[in-house]
Amino acid sequence: MQLYFLCTGNSARSQMAEGFAKQYAPKDWQIKSAGIEQHGLNPLAVAVMQESNIDISMQTSDLIDLAYLNSSDYVITLCGDARDKCPIAPAAVKRRHWPLLDPARPYDSADEELAMFRLTRDKIERLVNELIQNIR
């Protein structure tokens, strides 16, 4: 099984999804994330994942790899930008879309930003677990 999580900048949402999938999916599954652009790994994404005992600090912000995309079993977009701009994949590739708000958008306070990252992390964890259960 090959999963590909896509987002705009591959900095937070898709990185968290990759981290959860690597934690919960069978070890023989191939799991990657990428973006339409490379924005670097968001430090708050790393921090909130660490709160869930998942270390994503060594993951990298990558551009979409067409070969991996075309050979994936599932491609999951985590934002409308990625869904709209994702290259066309073969019909055999199953697509899912999770319309999640960007937790890295501007906030009135650091506490509000951290709360949004935690909320997004928790939604992604539920969605990843549901995906894995449905595939199995």
Q: Which residues are catalytic?
A: 7, 79, 86
Strand, coil or helix: what is 26?
coil
Maximum C-alpha span of the chain: 44
- Contact status, residue 64 vs residue 88, Cβ threshold 8 Å: no
Element (H, E) at 92: none
Q: Strand 94-97 relative to strand 30-35: parallel, antiparallel, unpaired?
A: unpaired
- Report how many helices (DSSP H) and strands (DSSP E) the chain contains, helices first: 5, 4
